[in-house]
Amino acid sequence: MTGKTLYDKIWDAHVAHEAEDGTCLLYIDRHLVHEVTSPQAFEGLRMAGRKVRAPEKTIAVPDHNVPTTLDREEGIKNEESRIQVEALDTNAKEFGINYYPVDDIRQGIVHIVGPEQGWTLPGMTVVCGDSHTATHGAFGALAHGIGTSEVEHVLATQTLIQKKSKNMKVEITGKLSPGVTAKDITLAVIGKTGTAGGTGYVIEYCGEAIRDLSMEGRMTVCNMAIEGGARAGLIAPDETTFEYVKGRPHAPKGAQWEAALNWWKTLYTDEDAVFDKVVTLKGEDIAPVVTWGTSPEDVLPITGVVPSPEDFTGGKVDAARRSLEYMGLKPGTPLSEVAIDAVFIGSCTNGRIEDLRAAAEIVKGKKIAEGVRGMVVPGSGLVRAQAEEEGLAEIFEAAGFEWRLAGCSMCLAMNPDQLAPGERCASTSNRNFEGRQGFKGRTHLMSPAMAAAAAINGKLTDVREVM
């Protein structure tokens, strides 16, 4: 018998029922909930007279709609947004689930709050009605996004109907060069595999460059597994993971910690396990990257030039032509000459303390270029508090950035934080789709350090030149 992958091990530990055709009921250890994809699910429960099966394993926090401006206490001005957040308040109370309301300092983006509070632990199954649930895979937890019908299914049964995905290994060998970060890794991987390269797979990220990453960096890598089409991204837990988890409010304590640790240490891919697909990148080959188009696979080193549609084949030719028109870019233009109007630092991809430190380091003692507006949105109230304690908030404010309250903000622009038509943004978020950050807004994805460098120079910039 061949060995098991990390995914195989977690999967096997959570199958509550398996039908003859391989359709399984997968038991869910943690269900994270936010206000946008849950109201219809709670309403479904109510109409059927059902309860939440495991309210103690269900955690809710509003994040998508919440204002990030300091006048948040005055309430949400947009009526629909307000109703959606109030619906979550009511549902959390009525169904007795764990809840961090808007005025709680622990409130923030659901994928930042879960790990921060120790809800996310190695070996768990974690779901949320949000595609970036993949983030939690950084802990060696099997974590993925689900639709609202499935949210209702998990609320009612604590299980999901699933068939097993295939195993894919993404190995990043060696060391990263200075100026290259977790965001560059994850974008470079998608640039190589394409946005459908992971479809049907669960990815395990491994290799020296991954091992060397902090938990924050690992979360950034796994967060964008979905942008590569994968159901989930995983990184085997190790001392870095255990160190991060230990002492968090909902992490096990005492004898339970020891018992948990014993099991967590078995969560790795056996040497003789077989992957269905393997992708390898050399750490030293990865440069600081940016996206040029409207798909996360449109990735190039910052030293590159805007491509031409003719550089591609098949359906990508028309897609590239459409992207370039939407983005207002001419083939052959050096990426480092593309001027920007806005900078967004935040999101579940890059809204953690380490991301803010990396951006602050570039910004320190400098000013945002004239005519550029910059916004820093911490991923949670606790990240915000820590950044203030470390003096990062002062650095950002002195440079001319707006220092905001926690939320999803301009990553998807459901709240008032939006780009105007035609505005071009250097963004640390995860999607550069048409209209994602605002109607006709133009998004270039990059790392926090790269976004900070772009803010200072007023154009896309190779961070290595300002380090």
Partner 1 sequence: MDKFTTLTGIAAPLPLINVDTDMIIPKQFLKTIKRSGLGVNLFDEMRYDSDGNEVEDFVLNKPAHRDAKILVSGDNFGCGSSREHAPWAIKDFGISCVIAPSFADIFFNNCFKNGILPIALPQEDVDKLMDDAERGSNAIITVDLESQTITGPDGGEIHFEVDAFKKHCLLNGLDDIGLTLEKVASIDVFEEKAAQARPWV
Distances (CA, A) of 132 to 50, 230, 264: 28, 11, 23
Q: Cα–Cα distance between 464 and 178 in angstroms, integer?
A: 7
- Helical residues (DSSP H) of 98-180, grouped into ranges: 110-116, 148-157
Residues 282-311 that bind partner 1 (CB under 8 A): 295, 297
Token pair listed for 310: 């003719």
326, 331, 332, 333: CA torsion to nearest 10: -20
Which residue's CB is nearer to partner 1, number 154 or number 215?
154
Annotated ligand binding at 24? The verdict is: no
Q: How far is the CB of 336 from partner 1 (least distance, A)?
A: 26
Which residue's CB is nearer to partner 1, number 19 or number 105?
19
Annotated ligand binding at 425? The verdict is: no
Q: How far is the CB of 233 from partner 1 (least distance, A)?
A: 13
Q: How far is the CB of 385 from partner 1 (least distance, A)?
A: 27
Q: Which of 283, 303, 280, 282 is nearest to 177 (CA)?
A: 283
Backbone angles phi, psi at 345, to 5 degrees: -115, 115
Token pair listed for 439: 């109607």
Q: How far is the CB of 157 from partner 1 (least distance, A)?
A: 5
Annotated ligand binding at 411? The verdict is: yes
| Residue 214 within binding range of partner 1, rule CB under 8 A | no
Helix axes 448-457, 353-363, angle to 10 degrees: 30
Out of 129, 191, 374, 378, the residue judged to bind partner 1 by CB under 8 A: 129
Residues 317-376 that bind partner 1 (CB under 8 A): 318-319, 322
| Residue 161 within binding range of partner 1, rule CB under 8 A | yes
- Contact stretch for partner 1 (CB under 8 A) within 105-113, 299-307, 431-439, 449-457: 431-439
- Contact stretch for partner 1 (CB under 8 A) within 15-23, 99-107, 265-273, 369-377: 15-23
| Residue 157 within binding range of partner 1, rule CB under 8 A | yes
Please say whether the beta carbons of 448 and 345 come within 8 A: yes
Which residue's CB is nearer to partner 1, number 318 or number 325?
318
Out of 256, 266, 280, 303, the residue judged to bind partner 1 by CB under 8 A: 256
Q: Can you name the residues that pair with 291 across neighbouring β-strands? A: 299
Within a 10 A sphere around the Cβ of 467, how many other Cβ atoms? 11
Backbone angles phi, psi at 343, to 5 degrees: -135, 130
Q: Cα–Cα distance between 428 and 415 in angstroms, integer?
A: 17
Residues 400-419 that bind partner 1 (CB under 8 A): 412-414
Please say whether the beta carbons of 461 and 467 come within 8 A: no
Please say whether the beta carbons of 350 and 429 come within 8 A: yes
Q: Cα–Cα distance between 18 and 149 in angstroms, integer?
A: 21
Q: What share of the chain is helix, strand, coil (3-state, %, to 5)?
A: 40, 20, 45
Counting residues that bind partner 1 (by CB under 8 A) gives: 81
Q: Which positions from 176 to 205 touch partner 1 by CB under 8 A, shown as an x/- string?
A: -------------------xx--xx-----
| Residue 386 within binding range of partner 1, rule CB under 8 A | no
| Residue 434 within binding range of partner 1, rule CB under 8 A | yes
Q: Which residue has the tokens 């460059």?
A: 209
Token pair listed for 6: 């990390």
Out of 9, 31, 57, 169, the residue judged to bind partner 1 by CB under 8 A: 57
- Contact stretch for partner 1 (CB under 8 A) within 101-109, 152-160, 183-191, 395-403: 152-160
Q: How far is the CB of 386 from partner 1 (least distance, A)?
A: 26
Q: How far is the CB of 376 from partner 1 (least distance, A)?
A: 21
- Contact stretch for partner 1 (CB under 8 A) within 95-103, 209-217, 255-263, 347-355: 255-263
